[in-house]
Structure formats: structure tokens, C-alpha cells
Structure 1
Amino acid sequence: MSSRDLVLMTAPLREDFTIPCHELGPAAGNPAVSFVSGLHGDEINGIYILARLADFLTAVEGGGYPKLRLAQRVLIIPAVNVLGTNTLRRAWPFDQSDQNRMFPGNQMGETTQRIAYTVLEATKKSAYRVDLHSSNLYFEELPQVRLYDPTPEERETAHLFGLSAIMERSVSPVFTTTLMYSWKYWPGQSFLLQIGQAGSIQLPHCQQVFRGLVSFLGRIGVLEGVEVAEADQEALYFTRECSVRIYADRAGMFVSDKSLGGWVSKGQELGYIYDSFNGNVRTRVTAPVAGLLTGIRRQPMLFEGDLLMRICTRTP
């Protein structure tokens, strides 16, 4: 195993900085799996999960788990936007650019373009590529595998992560400068894991995804000796047409006691929008369809038109 600096950069207003990465397993050849997180500096869940995964696989290599053996090479980049993480900012701190809108990058370009180029070069030839994200500061997502215009092989492999939901989406022009889009040009399989809410760690989500990544490595033969438990339930597969969004019909304070991953019935009360200053109920939020609650707004203060919840139905 080796921990090294993927990128060494100079910064105009502080000391030089590095983007660390971990290379584990046999050194020969391209990585069988590449894991990336922290393209947005405030998406802490993915950074935490991959840092813990690197520590776990390091212990495997060091003999800490005698029954386990790392049979193929794994590359882990826990935090790409390391300055954003250090300063608790989503975007690149100096020019507020989005690091995940800089791909495929440019070796001779601006700092974020050079970082994007280096990350893509390090990961693009992997057989499996996994990008971990969270939602924004306002919205929490059920841990899920997201597929963008997937191949049949990617649809099948997505079940190996052991998460309860798989969501298929089309690639829109908005995504053409992302890491996921750039990966699609190369042979191999690409996956995006969406986990919880930005700005903090939701430990139950992280624990679930960590276990899922270890199981995934076992199921594809990269980590030998893993005892893979059967999932409590088969992962539910949702197409774009299965996703129903609930928007606020007025401004106010949104309060809900619902938890992600629960099934709701059509017409069920899901929460309330209160007047922010006198406490009156302005709107009772009800489910327009029956389905699985996969997303919920956690920032109570809202404007008219803000996204409140996402429900995924079994059929479009």
C-alpha cells in the first residue's frame, strides 16, 4: 500500500497544498476499482466513508484481518476539492468554481482544470469507477446508486452495492463537464453513489454505504474472504419516470417527522408548512402518490417552489 500526493499545488494566499490518494493491493496494472469523493468540499459523508475505507484496506494489507486478502489494486481519492473541505466550502475557495464542472480538464489550464485532468487520468482506465456525493445543505437523500444512461452491465452490477435503491437517470447537457460524464468515454463501468445531506455526517448512512463498498469489493473479487450477507431486501430499481417531486406551494417553515426509506400511501400527510412568525399551518403536505420516500428537505425555512420531498413509485 502507498499513500501519496495525487496533486501538489501552490496557493496564492496560503501554503502549498496536496490532494492525497491511496493505492492499495498489487501494484501492477491499472486499478481494478477507483473511488473518488469530495469534488464538492461540503460533501462530508463521502470523504468520511472513503477515508475509513482506505484505513480498513490498509489494515487488510498489514495483516489486521487474516481472513481477507486484497487481490487486485484499488485507488482511493477521499477529497478532490481539498481546499473546499479545509475551509468548509462547497466550491473551490479562490474563484468559487465548481470542481465537478471542470472535466475532462486541461493539463495546462487553471488550477481546477489541472486537478480535473489529473483525477481523470488516474481513474479512467479502472474496470469499475465510483463517485460518492451528497445532496446540498438543504436536502437529504436516501443512500442510493445513480446510473446515467447505463449499460446493461452497469444495471446488473449496481445491485452489488447492497443499497436499497437504484435510480436511473438520463445524461443532460448540465452533466457534460462532470467526472461521471468523462468516465463514460472509457471502457469499464461507472457509478455515482448519492448519500445523505451535505455539511455534516449522517452516520447511519455512512455505515450502510461503507458496508456496501466492502461487500461490493468482495462480490467483484477484488477483496477475497469477505463474508457477504444477504441483503434484507432486493434493491428497488427506479427509472426517471418513477420519481415524483413535491414542491412548496408557498413560503414558510417546513416541518416533517418522516424518515427516508419508508413507504408512504397516496394522500398520507407528510409534513406541514407553517407561517414563520405566527405558527399557523399554511399548508398540509400530502403524498400525491404511493411510493418510497427517497428525499426530504431538512432546512425548514423555504421559498415558494422549493423542493420538499421526492417519492419513487414502483411503476411510472
Structure 2
Amino acid sequence: MINMINSGRVARLRGQKGVLRSDIGPSERTPQLALVADLDSNELNGMFVLSRLAAFLRSIEAGERRELRLRERVVIIPTVDALDISNHAWRAGRGHPPPAKAVREAVMAITQAAYYRVNVCAANRDMEEMPQVLLYAPNDDERASACLFGLPAVVEQPADSDEAGELMRTWRPHHGENFVICAGQLGNLQTQHCEILFRALVAFLSRTGVIDGLQLIEGEEDLHYFSHRQVCDVQAEQSGIFASRLEVGRWVQAGEELGQIYDGFTGDIRMHVIAPMAGLLAGLRREPLLCAGDLVAQILTPDIACQHDAAQQRPEGQQNARQAS
């Protein structure tokens, strides 16, 4: 079943009720780019940005932006929850696969032919992340293309990372380039992050030749490339209520205070959480309640170092948090 919206195609994959996507551009061509928001359907930032991007591309295809031209085909899946991939058939005992498997198979059928494949997601409900590109065991083409988004950080991760996600693992065997873009906090809509993501995706479309006629302002981007050994996780050493006034995406100095852990009963400060090293504050805890050992912050350090190395360099007994006086 195919519907026409502003000259763009909104299609349902036969056999999967409600698997809806925007299919925009020359229909006779293989998709050049596929964009998918988080499969858990709680990724509001990704859903918002991809739906806006689909509207932007449909307006180009419809001739509403005369200075721009859509040269390649793009497939966009802003969400799977709104696509009505639901549990009803499975619960009815009709022998259909579980929803997670059905979603994966449906999305793969739509996206695997594209050369560029992008998963837009958020870390989890506890952490807010700055907009960044994640690569998993990338090749040289992926490393080069990741910089075309113009986001402030590109981070390489090993292929077996638990954070890779099902979609990346499923895409990996297929020809093409795969990217994960993380931003914001799961379940929350953060318009500042959305604006950054939207501009990054439009810039990528322009730089890869998917659209023509866009005048980008070059030279303003401050991009940094990190390996997984340059990711420093800061963990809580006390339970309590965490509070911070910092914003993700800023640079912090070694010894700078990242926030405080308060006693939930007395209101007293139990710990001042301190940055163990200088770097880019890529992630910060936004869920106030925490236990000892929970992740509080993530710092990307320009120096080749990891959390284990940093711990070895600190004097014995010194921690990532200092006791409140």
C-alpha cells in the first residue's frame, strides 16, 4: 500500500502491518541513505528530527524549495511504535515472531539496500548525551564519512561493544557504511539537540551529493575524533541524589566539579563529584537517584587514556569524588 504525501511516498511493507516509512527521491534508484530512529520507540529526539527531515526532503521533491534538488533516494523511519508494529498478532497466537524480531526483520528489509545507514538514538533514561557519531569497528570510508556530519565528536568503539545495538549488528554484514548518532536523553524532547542533529543530517545530505544547491558555511565546525580508549567513565562512589548545573558538550578541566551527591534524608552534600581528567563532557546523569557504582558522567579526553589508566595514575586512596567538608 502506497500513499502520496507532497510528492513523497509513505509506504507500508507488505506482510508487516503498519511498517511505515518515508521513501523520498527517484523511485527507480536504490536508496542512497536510510535513517532509522531508535527501535525501542522511546527516542523522541530522533523521531522529531527524522520526521522534520522527511518533511524537508518532501518539500524539495515537490519543488517548494526551488534552489534545492533531490538527486538520490532516501528512506526514513522516524519511529516503529507509531508504525503500529504491535503485540496483537503475537498475543493472538497466530505463530508470528515476537515483536522485537518482527521489527528487526521489517526494518532490515527496508534499509539494507541503502549505502549509508544511520541509526539515531539516545543512551538511556538516566544519561543525557551530547550529539556525537559512534562508529563500531569502522573501515576508512566510515571514518571519513563520519566527519561529514560536522558533529563535535566522533567516537570509535569495538565491534563487540554492548552499546552497538541490534540494528548495527544486523547491518554490519551488508555492503555500505553504518553510523550511530547519539544525542539527548531517552524519553525526553530536547529541542537544542534536535536543531544540532537536523543541521548535521542536512549537511551530510549535501556533502554526500544526496541534495544539491545547499550553501553550507564551512569552517565553523570544531570536530574531535576519539577512540574507545579515550572515553573516561565517572562512576558514583556514594548513593543519594545527584545534581549538576553543567551542560553536556562543554570542556571540563581535571579537578573541576561535575556535580554533587546529596543525602536524600538530611539534604546534606555527601560527595562532590570531580572530573578525574580534562576533556569533553559527552554525557551527564540526569536521573537524580543513584547508587554507588552508577554512571555519573562520561568524558572524552584528547589524551590517550582510559578509565583504568586514569585510576592507576591517581594516588592511592584518591577518588573521583571528594568527601563534603
- TM-score of the aligned structures, taking structure 1 as reference length: 0.87
Q: Which residue of 2 aligns with 1:180?
A: 168
| 1:24, distance to aligned residue in structure 2 (A) | 0.6
Q: Which residue of 2 aligns with 1:302?
A: 290
Contact 1:24 1:57 survives alignment (8 Å): yes
Q: Which residue of 1 aligns with 2:121?
A: 133
CA–CA distance in structure 1, aligned partners of residues 162 and 252 of structure 2: 31
CA–CA distance in structure 2, aligned partners of residues 3 and 83 of structure 1: 11
| Local SS of the residue matching 2:155 | strand
- Give the aligned residue type for 1:283: M
Q: Which residue of 2 aligns with 1:4?
A: 11
- Give the aligned residue type for 1:162: G
Identity rate of aligned residues, in percent? 37
| 1:228, distance to aligned residue in structure 2 (A) | 1.4
Please tell me whether residue 214 in structure 1 is matched to residue 221 in structure 2: no
| 1:119, distance to aligned residue in structure 2 (A) | 1.1
Which piece of structure 1 moves more, 113-122 or 146-155?
A: 113-122
Residue segments in structure 1 that go unaligned for 5+ positions in a row: 10-16, 86-91, 96-106
- Give the aligned residue type for 1:110: P
| 1:93, distance to aligned residue in structure 2 (A) | 6.8
- Give the aligned residue type for 2:101: Q
Contact 1:38 1:82 survives alignment (8 Å): no
Please tell me whether residue 238 in structure 1 is matched to residue 226 in structure 2: yes
CA–CA distance in structure 2, aligned partners of residues 79 and 202 of structure 1: 17
CA–CA distance in structure 2, aligned partners of residues 253 and 127 of structure 1: 45
1:201 to 162, 183, 189: 189
Which piece of structure 1 moves more, 114-123 or 257-266?
A: 114-123
Q: Which residue of 1 aligns with 2:265?
A: 277
| 1:234, distance to aligned residue in structure 2 (A) | 3.3
| Superposition map of 1:82-93 within 5 A | 82=82
- Give the aligned residue type for 2:42: D
Residue deviations 1:13-37, cap 9 Å, x none?
A: xxxx613101111011310000111
**1:94–1:298 Cα change, 3 Å:** farther
| Local SS of the residue matching 2:181 | strand
Q: Which residue of 2 aligns with 1:50?
A: 50
| Superposition map of 1:115-130 within 5 A | 115-130=103-118
Residue segments in structure 2 that go unaligned for 5+ positions in a row: 1-7, 90-94, 305-325
Contact 2:282 2:299 survives alignment (8 Å): yes
Q: Which residue of 2 aligns with 1:88?
A: none
CA–CA distance in structure 1, aligned partners of residues 165 and 134 of structure 2: 17
Please tell me whether residue 258 in structure 1 is matched to residue 246 in structure 2: yes
CA–CA distance in structure 1, aligned partners of residues 189 and 87 of structure 2: 21
CA–CA distance in structure 2, aligned partners of residues 272 and 110 of structure 1: 43
CA–CA distance in structure 1, aligned partners of residues 28 and 14 of structure 2: 21
Contact 2:20 2:83 survives alignment (8 Å): no
Q: Which residue of 2 aligns with 1:36?
A: 36
CA–CA distance in structure 2, aligned partners of residues 108 and 193 of structure 1: 31
CA–CA distance in structure 1, aligned partners of residues 136 and 51 of structure 2: 26
**1:135–1:284 Cα change, 3 Å:** same
- Give the aligned residue type for 2:12: D
Residue deviations 1:79-129, cap 9 Å, x none?
A: 1243799xxxxxx7789xxxxxxxxxxx96334323311211221121111
| Local SS of the residue matching 2:203 | helix
| Local SS of the residue matching 1:178 | helix
Q: Which residue of 2 aligns with 1:23?
A: 23
CA–CA distance in structure 2, aligned partners of residues 176 and 301 of structure 1: 26
Contact 1:20 1:78 survives alignment (8 Å): no
Q: Which residue of 1 aligns with 2:65?
A: 65
Please tell me whether residue 170 in structure 1 is matched to residue 177 in structure 2: no
CA–CA distance in structure 2, aligned partners of residues 289 and 110 of structure 1: 45
- Give the aligned residue type for 2:69: R
Contact 1:7 1:115 survives alignment (8 Å): no
Q: Which residue of 1 aligns with 2:309?
A: none
Number of equivalenced pairs: 292
Q: Which residue of 1 aligns with 2:101?
A: 113
Contact 1:24 1:73 survives alignment (8 Å): yes
Q: Which residue of 2 aligns with 1:101?
A: none
